[in-house]
């Protein structure tokens, strides 16, 4: 615990000042947000007080929260977004629910009308507490200024402990002017980042899980986002190598192992998985879910693991154990601590030297998968094949690049075929709810969180239309992000689904072709439009090397005509 030393120590401060000081005490360094009438005292406090926080003015509250989300994912710290009452509160919702369902710590602060005017039909009145309750892990609308310090501490404690998630604080206008005792401005250092207050598994659980794994003939580890969130990549690599066990991931779990690791199968499931990687799921007689909820995408709507496959499940949330599969052994606890215990048990026993032959099986899967990919990735076909874009990206991006993708056209191709050379959170996508328009903004948050890493954002032209106004924010702050738009002038995911599921009966999925490069140029972004695949490599190198924001509008093959790695389209 640390007291926050402030110039106001001997003088009363108001609620807005207390909020600024509490955020500073909690270690916040960036706030993403949009101004409004109810925010006036808070903005004035941010202006007048001496602090080390940077406020980034956005053009949309959704985008502010997506920026906070991207920031949180790459830093392991709480991302903070703020917005005003009424429409601001409703616009901030999409980002909070995505962060909460994806287990990332994001705090949404919405200022509100005065408590004194509740129920009197003032402009922008909405029951913020009721609105946010089902979407967040922790939620309150503050009714008294002297509650601000402990409510902020409570929000950070909730966001960073157990299964991390989003929180919401409503801050009414009149409460921002009421006095707060400066002596209550203090924070818990441990809750500035997450996971905080890690909990080890109960005695015997890790050993029981290990015994189950060792008793199998063909086990498979399937990692979700929890491994990277826990920072358990090193412990996982040690286990995979000493047992020579194959490791697959969900899309959110990418980065659990470097994808060039000999034991890394790659993504499995209905999105980003391929027929070759799916073989690993079907062949396993025991599946170890690790920081994964065994949801519909990873299991291809629970097609595999099938009946008779044994299940071991590691997670820090007991609610996911046994939710979808009868579980032989459940290990509830922090994944880094749990895997360290498994490795310690193997050390003590002297066990675990090339036990399962996983690397050889993985090499065969990858060889066959990339033989097919390489045929498409070298195509000179126009419109340009998405595989060609991914292949060219692999040639030019640095090993520590951060790639952010919308869930549409670009995501399955990247997840299936791009080989992340390092473990950790180097690929970000909003898999929980899949809102379009995420990556353009989340990439800016990721850049603020990890400015030394080259940041690249991928999206379809449908997604670009959702949030292209934030290109003004990107140019204003001078972020050297490279945006790549897969342009096929339709909502490709839905059109491909209509092709596969509705006998190509297309309805209301096509829109006019737009010159995204021209739009970006109007915002001051250096941009290119590419129709010839021969130009891709040269333009990518130029864009990535440019010291400022860049955008490449790539006219690509429509999804309904492609070989996208989405299992229900490939049947």
CATH number for the domain including 54?
3.40.50.970
209 shares its domain with 355: yes
- The number of residues making up the chain comes to 571
Angle formed at CA 397 by CA 392 and CA 403, multiple of 5 degrees: 100
Residue 570: per-residue pLDDT: 63
* DSSP E strand stretches across 307-430: 310-315, 329-332, 402-405, 427-429
Residue 389 pLDDT > 90, yes or no? yes
Which has more confidence, 491 or 147? 147
Residue 250: per-residue pLDDT: 96
Domain boundary residue, one of 192, 213, 235: 192
335 shares its domain with 456: no
Residue 2 pLDDT > 70, yes or no? no
269 shares its domain with 146: no
Label each residue of 436-498 as H, E or C.
CCHHHHHHHHHHHHCCCCCEEEEEEHHHHHHHHHHHHHHHHHCCCCEEEEEECCECHHHHHHH
Cα gap 277→388, rounded to integer Å: 21
270 shares its domain with 169: no
271 shares its domain with 384: no
349 shares its domain with 392: no
Angle between helices 335-349 and 233-243 (to 10 degrees): 30
Residue 62: per-residue pLDDT: 95
Q: Is residue 369 part of a domain?
A: no
158 shares its domain with 270: no
Residue 12: per-residue pLDDT: 83
Q: Is residue 107 part of a domain?
A: yes
382 shares its domain with 342: no
pLDDT tens-digit series, residues 253-310? 999 999 999 999 999 999 999 999 999 999 999 999 999 999 999 999 999 999 999 9
**Other C-beta atoms within 10 Å of 308: how many?**
6
Strands 186-187 and 2-3, bridge-based pairing: antiparallel
297 shares its domain with 213: yes
Cα gap 203→212, rounded to integer Å: 16
Taking 3-state DSSP, the helix, strand and coil percentages for the chain, each rounded to the nearest 5, stand at 45, 20, 40
Average the pLDDT over 228-233 and give the result.
98
229 shares its domain with 315: yes
Q: Is residue 312 part of a domain?
A: yes
In what order do the strands lie in the sheet containing 455-460? 427-429, 402-405, 455-460, 482-487, 550-555, 526-530
Angle between helices 61-75 and 438-449 (to 10 degrees): 50
Average the pLDDT over 468-492 and give the result.
95
Out of 25-29, 90-94, 111-115, 353-357, pick the least confident: 353-357
Residue 4 pLDDT > 70, yes or no? no
Residue 564: per-residue pLDDT: 84
Beta carbons within 8 Å of 140's beta carbon, 6+ residues apart: 129, 151, 154, 155, 168, 169, 170
pLDDT tens-digit series, residues 417-443? 999 999 999 999 998 888 899 999 999
Residue 465: per-residue pLDDT: 94
pLDDT tens-digit series, residues 118-132? 898 998 999 999 999
Cα gap 449→67, rounded to integer Å: 10
Residue 10: per-residue pLDDT: 46
Q: Which among 545, 273, 543, 255 has a CA at the least distance from the CA of 419?
A: 255
Q: Is residue 81 part of a domain?
A: yes
244 shares its domain with 126: no
Domain boundaries, position 176: 2-192
Domain boundary residue, one of 140, 168, 192: 192
Q: Residue 453 is encoded by which pair of tokens?
A: 């890493």
How many domains does the chain contain in total? 3
Q: Is residue 367 part of a domain?
A: no
Prediction pTM value? 0.95
Residue 6 pLDDT > 70, yes or no? no
175 shares its domain with 300: no
Confidence band for 571, pLDDT divided at 50, 70 and 90: low
Out of 347-361, 473-487, 505-519, pick the least confident: 347-361
DSSP 20: H
Confidence band for 171, pLDDT divided at 50, 70 and 90: very high
Contact 95, 66 (CB under 8 A): yes
Beta carbons within 8 Å of 328's beta carbon, 6+ residues apart: 212, 310, 311, 312
CATH number for the domain including 340?
3.40.50.1220
Q: Is residue 310 part of a domain?
A: yes
Instruction: Let me know if 37 is exposed, middle or buried by CB neighbors in 10 A (0-12, 13-18, 19+).
Output: middle
Residue 9 pLDDT > 60, yes or no? no
Confidence band for 559, pLDDT divided at 50, 70 and 90: confident
Out of 198-207, 407-416, 511-520, pick the least confident: 407-416
- Mean model confidence pLDDT for the chain: 94
Contact 71, 448 (CB under 8 A): yes
Confidence band for 351, pLDDT divided at 50, 70 and 90: confident
Q: Residue 390 is encoded by which pair of tokens?
A: 């991914």
Q: Residue 340 is encoded by which pair of tokens?
A: 């360290």
DSSP 571: -
Q: Is residue 529 part of a domain?
A: yes
Q: Is residue 372 part of a domain?
A: no
């Amino acid at each position: 615990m640390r007291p926050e030393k402030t110039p106001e120590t001997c003088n009363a401060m108001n609620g807005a000042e207390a909020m600024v000081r509490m955020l500073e005490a909690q270690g916040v360094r960036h706030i993403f947000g949009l101004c409004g009438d109810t925010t006036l005292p808070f903005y004035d406090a941010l202006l007048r007080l001496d602090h080390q926080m940077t406020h980034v003015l956005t053009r949309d509250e959704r985008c502010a929260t997506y920026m906070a989300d991207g920031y949180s994912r790459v830093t392991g710290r709480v991302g903070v977004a703020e917005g005003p009452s009424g429409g601001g509160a409703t616009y901030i919702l999409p980002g909070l629910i995505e962060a909460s369902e994806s287990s990332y710590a994001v705090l949404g602060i919405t200022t509100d009308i005065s408590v004194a005017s509740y129920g009197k039909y003032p402009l922008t009145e909405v029951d913020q507490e009721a609105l946010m309750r089902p979407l967040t892990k922790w939620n309150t609308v503050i009714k008294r200024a002297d509650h601000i310090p402990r409510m902020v501490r409570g929000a950070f404690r909730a966001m960073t402990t157990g299964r991390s998630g989003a929180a919401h604080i409503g801050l009414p206008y009149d409460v921002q002017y009421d006095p707060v005792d400066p002596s209550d401005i203090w924070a818990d250092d441990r809750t500035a980042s997450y996971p905080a207050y890690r909990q080890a598994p109960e005695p015997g659980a890790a050993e029981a899980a290990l015994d189950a794994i060792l008793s199998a003939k063909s086990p498979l580890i399937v990692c979700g986002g929890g491994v990277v969130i826990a920072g358990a990549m090193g412990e996982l690599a040690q286990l995979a190598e000493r047992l020579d066990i194959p490791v697959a991931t969900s899309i959110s779990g990418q980065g659990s192992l470097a994808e060039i690791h000999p034991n890394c199968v790659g993504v499995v499931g209905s999105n980003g998985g391929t027929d070759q990687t799916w073989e690993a799921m079907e062949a396993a007689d025991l599946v170890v879910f690790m920081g994964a909820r065994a949801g519909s995408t990873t299991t291809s709507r629970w097609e595999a693991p099938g009946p008779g496959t044994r299940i071991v499940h590691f997670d820090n949330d007991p609610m996911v154990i046994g939710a979808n599969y009868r579980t032989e052994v459940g290990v509830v606890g922090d994944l880094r601590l749990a895997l360290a215990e498994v490795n310690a048990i193997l050390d003590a026993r002297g066990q675990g030297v090339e036990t399962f032959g996983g690397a050889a099986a993985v090499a065969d899967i990858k060889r066959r998968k990339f033989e097919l990919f390489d045929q498409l990735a070298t195509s000179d076909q126009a419109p340009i094949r998405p595989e060609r874009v991914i292949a060219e990206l692999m040639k030019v991006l640095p090993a520590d690049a951060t790639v952010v993708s919308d869930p549409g056209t670009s995501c399955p191709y990247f997840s299936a075929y791009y080989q992340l050379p390092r473990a950790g959170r180097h690929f970000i996508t909003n898999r929980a709810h899949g809102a379009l328009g995420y990556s353009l903004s989340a990439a800016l948050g990721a850049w603020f969180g990890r400015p030394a890493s080259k940041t690249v954002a991928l999206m379809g032209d449908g997604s670009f239309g959702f949030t292209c106004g934030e290109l003004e924010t990107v140019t204003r702050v001078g972020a050297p992000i490279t945006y790549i738009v897969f342009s096929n002038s339709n909502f490709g995911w839905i059109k491909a689904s209509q092709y596969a599921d509705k006998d190509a009966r297309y309805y209301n999925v096509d829109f006019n072709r737009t010159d995204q490069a021209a739009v970006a140029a109007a915002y001051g972004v250096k941009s290119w439009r590419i129709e010839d695949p021969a130009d891709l490599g040269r333009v990518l190198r130029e864009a990535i090397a440019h010291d400022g924001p860049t955008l490449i509008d790539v006219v690509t093959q429509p999804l309904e005509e492609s070989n996208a790695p989405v299992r229900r389209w490939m049947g």
